[in-house]
Amino acid sequence: MKVCIHRGSQEIGGMATEISTTKTRLVIDMGDQLSLDPDFVSSSLDISGVTDDKIPCHGVLFTHYHGDHTGQILAIRPGLPLYAGPLAKDIMALTAGHSWKRNPALSKRIASIQSFFPGRPFTIGDIEITPFSIDHSACDSYMFLIEADGRRLLYTGDFRLHGIRGKAMDKILDTRVGKVHTLIIEGTTLSRPDQASRTEWDLQDQVRKYLKEYKYVFVLCSTTNLDRIFALARAVPYGKYCICDSYQKSLMDAVSRHWSGLSSFYQMPKITTYGDNLLPNFQRLGGLMFIRANKKFADILRQFNRKESILLYSMWKGYRTRPGSKLPEFLSLAGSWTDLHTSGHASPEDLAHVIERVDPDLVIPMHTEAPQRLAEICPNRKVLLVEDGEELTL
């Protein structure tokens, strides 16, 4: 089995990794590079057989729907089979079809995605892939166990252990994965030590407290951070409003359609779709409103008593603190505001935990700006640092 990280060996984002045997070539993710500069445009990926038809390639698998893993989907040659989780596919379709960034070509390509299912192995050529549903700030995210040529490789994708379903990881590793030869592991927090010590449940508890203290709680959160949206919506007590707009509701409906049978957590919480006529009722009863940083919600924020309202900034701090960010101005529209966030990525301790659990002969970090730090958290392991485009035979 051969591996080549085309991009992402030393950066967070822009991901694309090739796995191949003599008969089969697969690529995992085709993502955009990330930057704090809002005008930044990712450079395109150029992978033979994927972005052209010069040599055979047999499929592209997506770990999850974040743009740093899917942003280059339209660069993939037409006809090359694509694979993703069923809910991830629906969320990608809803996002691509959303009014303010509608993209018919993207919608058409997303419609062609074939779904795989958690824990159910499938083969492409002579490579067997078992996708496992794991916890991340995108729901329906996957880790892949890849088996070919008598070798076992675990590709974690983006993951964490402190989310709503973080505890599932140990069970998957112990009962379905076991020992692997090679582990390719994301290492975001090696270079970006966010507040990964707080769990999503901690954030839910915190919101319960704010709802007691303030009549109006406004939450600015990524619309596709759906585990968090569900957790915070569930914190709203009976008799108070929980409000979101119709786009947010459509994303929640998709989650509920796919997963309500798996856990009551994913059954639709009581939530009202925003309309101007709702504001007088919200003024009267109070509660929680999911908002976005735009003029419409700026006008809404101005209508509420500043002493009785708080805005919770529930996204990565980097967007708020980057030079030229307009977010501080928006946040100041509420009477007070505070951060309410935890990382979508495993802490260094949790990375070490996963590494020990699968007992790999070789560990390769990616999706990090500090791959060299991985060796510090697992000194007993053989850690291999690779360059983008370097081909390894495992």
Give 68 or 140: the residue with its C-beta nearer to Zn ion.
Answer: 68
Question: Is the Cβ of residue 63 or residue 309 nearer to Zn ion in the bound state?
Answer: 63
Distance CA 325, CA 336 (A): 18
Residue 91 CB, shortest distance to Zn ion, in Å, is 13
Residue placing its CB nearer to Zn ion in the complex, 116 or 214: 116
Q: How far is the CB of 240 from Zn ion (least distance, A)?
A: 32
Measured from the CB atom, is 45 or 311 closer to Zn ion?
45
Q: How far is the CB of 229 from Zn ion (least distance, A)?
A: 16
Give the nearest distance from C-beta 150 to Zn ion in angstroms: 30
Binding site for Zn ion (CB under 5 A): 66, 68, 158
Nearest distance from residue 41's CB to Zn ion, in Å? 18
What's the min distance (Å) between Cβ of 357 and Zn ion?
21
CB contact set of 72 (below 8 Å; sequence gap of 6+): 16, 30, 31, 32, 42, 44, 45
- Residue 36 Cβ vs Zn ion, minimum distance, rounded to whole Å: 15
Contacts of 77 (CB under 8 A, 6+ apart): 50, 51, 52, 53
- Choose between 236 and 366: whose C-beta lies nearer to Zn ion: 366
Q: Smallest gap, in angstroms, from Cβ of residue 351 to Zn ion?
A: 14
CA-to-CA dists, residue 68 to 7, 313, 334, 357, angstroms: 11, 22, 32, 27
- Other beta carbons within 10 angstroms of residue 205's beta carbon come to 12
Q: At how many degrees (to 10) do helices 86-96 and 246-259 cross?
A: 170
**In this complex, which beta carbon is closest to Zn ion, that of residue 158 or of residue 350?**
158
The nearest distance, CB 241 to Zn ion, in angstroms, is: 31
Closer to Zn ion by CB, 8 or 360: give it.
8
Nearer to Zn ion, 174 or 369 (CB): 369
Nearer to Zn ion (CB atom), residue 66 or residue 341: 66
